Amino acid sequence: MYKLSTEQKERLGREGYLVVEQLLDPRLDIRPLLDEYEAVLGRIAQSFYAEGVISSTYINLPFDARLIQICRESGRSLSQFFDISLPQRAIRQDTPIHTGPAVFALLTSPRLLKVVEDIVGKEIYSNPVQHIRMKLPSQARTSASSDGLNSKIPWHQDNGVVLPEADVATILTVWIPLNDATVENGCLQVVPGSHRGGLEPHCPGPAGAAIPERLVPEDKAIPLPMRAGSVLLMHQRTIHSSLDNVTADRVRMSLDLRYQPVGQPTGRPSFPGFVARSTTHPESVLHDPRKWANLWLEARDQLAREEDAAFNRWQAGIGVCA
């Protein structure tokens, strides 16, 4: 079982990020999840074809080409059908969310949790701020089909996209490329050491809350190309963004996950997390992917009956956002 070295933990503390090469097995850990998403895309294609939105299901195309073609032809964003979290507004009883067993298996991977344990301790809570991102080539997106889950992500700190309650929590970001993330297809870039400063102001925008570019030392940023199965660990205040996908026909796929010690606020109390590992109370650990899926369905039902909840602290037109 992989264990972080003292040098790795010191690097994470010093630089605010750490790449752990080949922590996960692409065949055993990632392939089942990609198979689930193949099935999700198949259902979308069948539904859109039945509606007359697309002229074919494009069943013979490989995943990347099929997704790009369906997005182009339909002019719709498909992100929410794949996402492992709910959106932050306009939640309905039928808002799509994907909570398949392969997602849960990756969330609770023993190899992954062992590394998380080296940072946050033995009592691990899976924070519900989590996403699948399928970054489309820029030329494949339209204004109607583009969103923060499939386009370039602006500069931000992960602690800046949740409520102030999370300021006292120790939340570790775990970013996992599901296929190779390159400079060309839109890998992440980080500002080393930026976590040692405070929380920067963020302004609401179409791709999520973002730090105004004039406040970001972009000359210090470095890109982080990574192989599928490698894992990026990141401090909650590390400034980062993604590059744009400038390829013609490749989709960059990644998971954003968060973990923290049990009992600390998540910054998104309307969404359900769960105990992923505990030596003190092993009976509290969630093992059943169906129960995890039901937690999200119950949250969706509740939120659909309420007015939009608050998900972050920032308002447009105030301070640096004016």
CATH superfamily entry for domain 6-25+79-305 = q2cbj1_9rhob like domain (2.60.120.620)
Over residues 25-46, mean pLDDT:
97
Residue 36 pLDDT greater than 80, yes or no: yes
User: Is residue 220 very low, low, confident or very high in pLDDT (cuts 50, 70, 90)?
Assistant: very high
Question: Which of 142 and 304 is assigned the larger pLDDT?
Answer: 304
Three-state secondary structure of 180-191: CECCCCCCEEEC
Q: Tens digit of pLDDT for each residue in 182-206?
A: 999 999 999 999 999 999 999 988 7
Give the pLDDT confidence score for residue 236 in this predicted structure. Answer: 97
Three-state secondary structure of 73-132: HHCCCCHHHHCCCCCCCCCCCCCCCCCCHHHHHHHCCHHHHHHHHHHHCCCEEEEEEEEE
Closest CA to 176 of 62, 297, 94, 84: 84
Q: Kindly give the pairing relationship between strand 172-177 and strand 231-234.
A: antiparallel
Residue 209 pLDDT greater than 90, yes or no: no
CB 155 within 8 A of CB 213: yes
Give the pLDDT confidence score for residue 148 in this predicted structure. Answer: 67
Helices (H), the chain: 6-15, 31-51, 63-74, 79-82, 101-107, 110-120, 289-304
Q: Tens digit of pLDDT for each residue in 308-317?
A: 777 878 887 7
Q: Tens digit of pLDDT for each residue in 122-147?
A: 999 999 999 999 999 988 776 655 67
Q: Kindly give the pairing relationship between strand 240-242 and strand 188-190.
A: antiparallel
pTM of the prediction? 0.95
